[in-house]
């Protein structure tokens, strides 16, 4: 897909404007004052892969494709992948940066301590979706604006979730490993390979990604359930055939497959602990592309080891990048990957356009599209409250 065509459609999708109601909270002035701004971006390093695709804009080397534009306007643009520890490159720039651009795929953890040090900081932008790597309460208390490119990679993540469901249901990975090791044992795969048709699939959360997943699952003739704080529009509910389950604890034991599509908040952190997992159907399959910290790490390991969870797949870990000794790397019945679902080339182009659009509005003193705000005027977006 040509970058120009993707960028044009992305601009149309992300530039609907609106002005949220003002708050009495005292905030740091978001509208950029005249003069050069220091903008720092933290992205994953691509090394030899950076030059293999001209549209690979999400890496540190290509820096969302906005370096020439920013520097031509007199702004300073520092990009790094070095984000952790007191002596990292990011830490050197915290005291005098004005804008920090981060990404969920290589998250720079913006703690209360870092926010306190960042005296000039006005704007925190997430290139993608999901800003839980920021201490949102501390950002709100400091009067910062936090925004992300809402909708930029929802298709990418929903498609990835569907792929992971099929990988687990069909017991695909052991078969693939047989090919690599030179084996041929059909029985070792077939004894736990199933059809997706007729299975009960429940999504915990039915926001943009959850709804797209339900739409993509409908042709498979599954029994679809969803739990969310807000019931779907009746027309969409009818279109997907999904049934609303108000009580999460009542829904979960019904499910053959559970997909996590809820944001990480204080309420959802550690939600799937030992007790909740014990209530799930024995042999359940779980897909989690939301956030790793929603799961109790050791509880998942124990359930996969016992077979209570027959398969666990996702691309999110706690922390990220996952250390080499993270137990999810070595537990049985897993199909884990690094955090990749929302950083396809198409998604990168969309969130690069969205970041540039918000920077342009910031320089002009204009409001962002309202759906992009995560923290504004000292208030958190509803999904994080």
The annotated binding site is made up of: 129, 153, 208-209, 228, 263-267, 289, 315, 339-342
CB 371 within 8 A of CB 358: no
Residue 144 phi, psi dihedral angles, 5° rounding = -80, 160
Find where tokens 């019931």 sit. Answer: 231
What b-and-e string marks burial along 114-136, b requiring 16 or more CB atoms within 10 Å of the CB? Answer: bbeebeebbbbbbbbbbbbbbbb
Q: Is the separation of the CB atoms in 343 and 315 below 8 Å? A: no
Say which residues have a Cβ less than 8 Å from residue 360's Cβ, sequence separation at least 6: none
Residue located via tokens 């691309």: 315
The strand pairing partners of 100, in sequence order, are 40, 124
> What are the binding residues for substrate?
129, 153
What's the residue count for the chain?
A: 385
Q: Would you call the peptide bond into 188 cis, given omega within 30 degrees of 0 as the criterion?
A: no
Name the token pair of 146. Answer: 């936090």
The CA-atom distances, in angstroms, between 131 and each of 171, 187, 304, 349, 369 are 33, 44, 29, 19, 16
Bridge-based pairing of strands 38-42 and 373-376 is unpaired
**Which of 24, 33, 41, 35 has the alpha carbon at shortest distance from 122?**
33
Q: Residue 12: which of 270, 350, 304 has the closest Cα?
A: 350
Strands 38-42 and 200-204 turn out to be unpaired
Binding-site positions for NAD(+) read 208-209, 228, 263-267, 289, 315, 339-342
Q: Please tell me what DSSP assigns to residue 295.
A: B
Partner residues linked to 227 by β-bridges: 204
* Whole-number Cα distances in Å, 163 to 26, 158, 369: 46, 9, 31
d(CA 209, CA 188): 34
Order across the sheet with 38-42: list the strands. Answer: 76-80, 38-42, 99-102, 123-126, 145-148, 373-376, 379-380
- Known catalytic residues? 153, 291, 320, 339
């Amino acid at each position: 897909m040509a970058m120009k065509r993707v960028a044009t459609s992305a601009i149309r999708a992300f530039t609907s404007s609106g002005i949220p109601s003002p708050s009495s909270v005292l905030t740091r002035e978001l509208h950029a004052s005249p003069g050069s701004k220091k903008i720092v971006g933290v992205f994953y390093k691509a090394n030899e892969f950076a030059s293999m695709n001209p549209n690979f804009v999400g890496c540190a080397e290509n820096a969302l494709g906005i370096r020439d534009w920013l520097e031509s306007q007199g702004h300073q643009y520092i990009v790094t992948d070095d984000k952790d520890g007191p002596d990292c490159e990011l830490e050197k720039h915290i005291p005098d940066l004005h804008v920090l651009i981060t990404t969920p795929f290589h998250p720079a953890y913006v703690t209360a301590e870092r926010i306190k040090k960042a005296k000039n900081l006005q704007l925190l932008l997430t290139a993608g979706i999901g800003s839980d790597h920021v201490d949102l309460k501390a950002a709100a208390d400091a009067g910062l604006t936090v925004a992300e490119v809402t909708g930029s990679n929802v298709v990418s993540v929903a498609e990835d979730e569907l792929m992971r469901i099929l990988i687990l249901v069909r017991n695909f990975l052991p078969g693939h490993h047989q090919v690599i090791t030179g084996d041929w044992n059909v029985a070792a795969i077939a004894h736990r390979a199933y059809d997706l048709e007729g299975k009960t699939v429940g999504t915990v959360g039915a926001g943009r990604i959850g709804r797209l997943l339900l739409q993509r699952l409908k042709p498979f003739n599954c029994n679809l359930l969803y739990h969310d704080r807000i019931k779907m529009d009746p027309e969409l509910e009818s279109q997907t055939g999904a049934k609303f389950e108000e009580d999460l604890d009542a829904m979960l034991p019904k499910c053959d497959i559970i997909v996590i599509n809820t944001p990480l908040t204080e309420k959802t952190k550690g939600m799937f602990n030992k007790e909740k997992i014990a209530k799930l159907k024995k042999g359940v399959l779980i897909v989690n592309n939301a956030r790793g910290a929603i799961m109790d790490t050791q509880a998942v390991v124990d359930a996969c080891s016992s077979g209570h969870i027959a398969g666990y797949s996702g691309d999110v870990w706690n922390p990220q990048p996952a250390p080499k000794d993270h137990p999810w790397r070595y537990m049985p019945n897993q199909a884990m990957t690094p955090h990749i679902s929302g950083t396809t080339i198409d998604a990168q182009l969309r969130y690069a356009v969205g970041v540039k659009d918000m920077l342009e509005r910031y320089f002009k003193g204009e409001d962002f599209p309202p759906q992009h705000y995560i923290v504004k005027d000292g208030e958190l977006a509803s999904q994080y409250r």
